[in-house]
């Protein structure tokens, strides 16, 4: 049975372009755009980095799992935080309501785009480097992806064009 493109969830490392590609893709398809980090901040009444500081990483991930497990969508492009792949319940829900697209960016490009991990609210355990985080998450992104888009060397527009064609042709 073919999966439907009713909802498209973009997963990938911080700075992989989930929000940028997501907004552009939603506009091109006539979909709504849902940034679940903004939903978390709205629901909690504070910034991601403040939630992490107050509740710790495990507390933050409980909130992240709850919010992502309740996203309804319906002709939506959904952009969750990069750590959503640690939350099995959330990922099964997102997979059940549409396509999961992994925006794959090589490590060097991620490192070049990221500056202040703590200010971005990145889930990073004590002593972990960006390389450790990358190596830990990539297999999870690959595990959950229905489609993988190699972004390295491509513009956001190129990625959007390719995904739009895929979605409109309802391939898969």
Report the DSSP pairing between strands 147-150 and 99-104. parallel
Residue ranges of domains in the chain, CATH in brackets: 7-160 (3.40.50.300)
**Structure tokens, 101:** 């697209």
- Look at residues 105, 104, 100, 73 and name the one whose alpha carbon lies nearest to residue 84: 100
Amino acid 138: pLDDT? 97
- pLDDT for position 1: 45
pLDDT of residue 15: 86
> What pLDDT does 145 receive?
97
Phi, psi (5° rounding) for residue 7? -130, 145
Q: What does the alpha-carbon distance between residue 126 and residue 110 come to, in Å, rounded to a whole number?
A: 20
Give the Å distances, CA to CA, from 133 to 72, 139, 170. 29, 11, 33
Q: What's the pLDDT tens digit per position in 74-114? A: 899 999 988 899 999 999 999 999 999 999 999 999 888 88
Radius of gyration of the chain (CA): 15
CB 29 within 8 A of CB 167: yes
Asked if 41 and 28 count as a contact pair (C-beta separation under 8 A), the reply is: no
In the chain, the percentage of residues whose pLDDT exceeds 90 is 70
pLDDT at 171 over 60: no
pLDDT at 119 over 90: no
Entry pTM: 0.91
pLDDT over 50 at 172, yes or no = no
Question: DSSP for 44-103?
Answer: HTS-HHHHHHHHHHHHHHHHHHHHHHT---SSEEEE--GGGGG-HHHHHHHHHTSEEEEE
């Amino acid at each position: 049975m073919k999966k439907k493109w009713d909802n498209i969830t973009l997963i990938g490392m911080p700075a992989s372009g989930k929000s940028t590609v997501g907004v552009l893709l939603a506009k091109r398809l006539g979909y709504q755009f849902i940034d679940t980090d903004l939903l978390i901040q709205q629901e909690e009444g504070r910034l991601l980095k403040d939630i992490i500081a107050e509740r710790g990483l495990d507390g933050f991930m409980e909130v992240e799992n709850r919010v992502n497990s309740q996203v309804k969508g319906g002709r939506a492009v959904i952009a969750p935080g990069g750590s959503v792949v640690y939350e099995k319940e959330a990922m099964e829900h997102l997979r059940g309501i549409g396509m999961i697209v992994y925006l794959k960016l090589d490590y060097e490009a991620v490192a070049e785009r990221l500056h202040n991990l703590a200010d971005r609210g990145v889930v990073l355990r004590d002593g972990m480097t960006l390389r450790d985080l990358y190596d830990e998450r990539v297999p999870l992104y690959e595990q959950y992806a229905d489609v993988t888009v190699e972004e390295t060397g491509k513009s956001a527009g190129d990625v959007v064009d390719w995904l739009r064609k895929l979605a409109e042709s309802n391939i898969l």
